[in-house]
Amino acid sequence: MNVLEQVLHREDGRNGAKPRLRPLRFVTFLAPNLFAFYQFVTRYLGDRLGLPTELRVGTSYEELTAQADVAFVCGLPYVELTRQGRSPVEPLVAPVLQGERYGGKPIYYSDVIVRRDSPFRSFADLRGRSWAYNEPHSQSGYGITRYHLARLGETNGYFGRVVEAGWHEQSLRMVCSGEVDASAIDSHVLAVALRDRPELARQVRVIEVLGPSSIQPVVAARHLPEPLKAALRGALLEMGGDPAARPHLARALVERFTPVTDATYDDIRTMLTVVEAAGFLNLR
């Protein structure tokens, strides 16, 4: 039994039964409209490593400490975990998105959107207006908004009403329907949504761009053997040059994966320090 198999080894509970491998457990905490891509990545890694894999949607970041072997996670909760001491996970790689605005770097933006027929032309016009965010551990929807307001010297009470939508696509729907005036949407998620649903492009417009922020990493549990983590990283880095993988990457608007380290997320650490100094951890 090699080292990759040892970490996944399990007994099936029957006397004399041959030991089996448990699946390598992948968890995604990211946007639903990219779930198919994360499914492909999970299958791809299983095929490349010759290991069973499974993917499920995470419901609590506590799963990173106990249940996930590999996870697709936002940079903000990753940084929050590292500030609690030794993080249970470490970053392996992150995607480089298609498009000149990303400059071939593992970054993304938060596009502030409003209804196309609204009178708002800038972020300054949103004072006293309603705002939707996806969830409070999201850098793209929450962390970057706090940071932007803190840099402006605007903290509590800037928005008239703040609503937690649950995920970016729901925030987008709420802006389109007029339930809220504005929201900051992950530029990757927004690009995929507008590509898949062209009618949305006629309903919203971007009035401000926040960021960039370092993009969401693929992280691995620290308890995994180093050879397994190295194999995962290597397969992900080779994906961009694999003809079989390129259509899936293109469909997700991803160019390739690139190596990242803990230091890659120092920009998010700095933003978090700024909002803490301003006493502005809650948008409401």
Using 50 as the pLDDT threshold, list the residues of the chain that sit under it.
Answer: 1-3, 9-13
The proportion of the chain whose per-residue pLDDT surpasses 70, expressed as a percent, equals: 93
Quote the tokens at residue 69.
Answer: 């072997």
CA distance 240 to 197: 26
pLDDT of residue 1: 41
Q: pTM of this prediction? A: 0.92
Q: Please calculate the CA angle 52-82-137 and round it to the nearest 5 degrees.
A: 80
pLDDT of residue 66: 81
Residue 112: alpha-carbon gap to chain centroid: 17
213 touches 138 (CB < 8 A): no
Residue pair 70/219 in contact by the 8 Å Cβ criterion? yes
CA distance 81 to 87: 6
Strands (E), the chain: 9-10, 20-21, 24-28, 53-57, 70-72, 89-97, 107-115, 130-133, 161-164, 182-186, 204-214, 218-221, 254-259
Stretch (H or E) spanning 8: helix 3-8
What are the angstrom distances between the C-alpha of 188 and each of 76, 110, 170, 243? 16, 9, 15, 23
Using CA atoms in the order 83, 89, 95, 101, what is the torsion angle rounded to 10 degrees? 0
In this prediction, residue 15 carries a pLDDT of 54
Whole-number pLDDT of residue 284 = 78
Closest by CA to 187, choosing from 215, 148, 219, 149, is 215
Q: Is the Cβ–Cβ distance between 152 and 139 less than 8 Å?
A: no
